[in-house]
Amino acid sequence: MNEKVRCLIIGSGPAGYTAAIYASRANLSPVLYEGIQPGGQLTTTTEVENFPGYPEGITGPELMEDLKKQASRFGADIRFGIATSVDFNSYPRKVTIDGEKIIEANSVIIATGASAKYLGLADETKYAGMGVSACATCDGFFYRKKTVAVVGGGDTACEEAIYLAGLAEKVYLIVRKPFLRASKVMQDRAIQNPKIEILFECNAVGLFGDNGVEGAHIVKHQGEANEEKFDIKIDGFFLAIGHKPNTDIFKGQINLDSVGYIITEAGTPRTCVEGVFAAGDVADPHYRQAITAAGTGCQAAIEAERYLSEKGW
């Protein structure tokens, strides 16, 4: 049997939970399905020091639990479950949960986030939260006057290396190819920065350390006759090889860009589908911060309330 709701929120994290707080306070009786990673990416982060309101910092899981409790306090119906397919071509919008239950929603807020791409090394999991990060802006502060490595050769990698160079003593930029793929201006900034050493034609194949990352195993000219292996001493290992927005189930249902991020109207969370809104990293390839995700979650809930009010629902 189908269930009908006024406002359905797909995904949790700062965007989803904030949308639930605002939607609940607006009497929209929101139903939120937490998705494959309840609490989002921040649940894999140890210390969060840049979210307003926590002067002493807070762990990612604790922050997400606080947001979840706040949403529940105002009446949000928060459930375990994963959206497995959607039908935005009919009205009400239909979302299938766990391949079985169909939710018919007058409005939908998509907050499914994006997942950082990793190299696939076992050590990335081993040292998660102990020196491995996919966000320099989030975690760079912990590496002041230390040595770090950034993996990648595009604009994001150069941007993160430059950002970290403003904090760290030294930054290695590990680039698989013999050149940078970044734009010319970003290449020049990285190359000319005295704190950044670029390791071209190199692959990071492992990490080592007793109580966290202390170094990386590097292979230069991997698989070639002149292959060379060496280690570098580092305190932090940053992945900057891209993010994958969690939008597979929305393909063909909503406008996505070439990477898969949801396209919204400039300055709003509105999508090309009436009554469907996007919040957080799923529609943000640029900032990817908890506070910006929370802000768009607020916007999405306000837009949903206005939409439902205009329709008389």
**Catalytic machinery residues:** 135, 138-139
Collect all residues with Cβ–Cβ distance below 8 Å to 132 and sequence separation of at least 6: 123, 124, 207, 213, 236, 237, 239
Please give the Cα distance from 90 to 253 (Å, whole number): 11
Phi, psi of 178 (to 5 degrees): -85, 15
Collect all residues with Cβ–Cβ distance below 8 Å to 306 and sequence separation of at least 6: none
Please give the Cα distance from 146 to 129 (Å, whole number): 16
Collect all residues with Cβ–Cβ distance below 8 Å to 198 and sequence separation of at least 6: 172, 173, 175, 180, 190, 191
Please identify which residue in the block is written with the tokens 């982060």: 45
Q: How many Cβ atoms are within 10 Å of 308's Cβ, its own excluded? A: 19
Structure tokens at 96: 């299938």
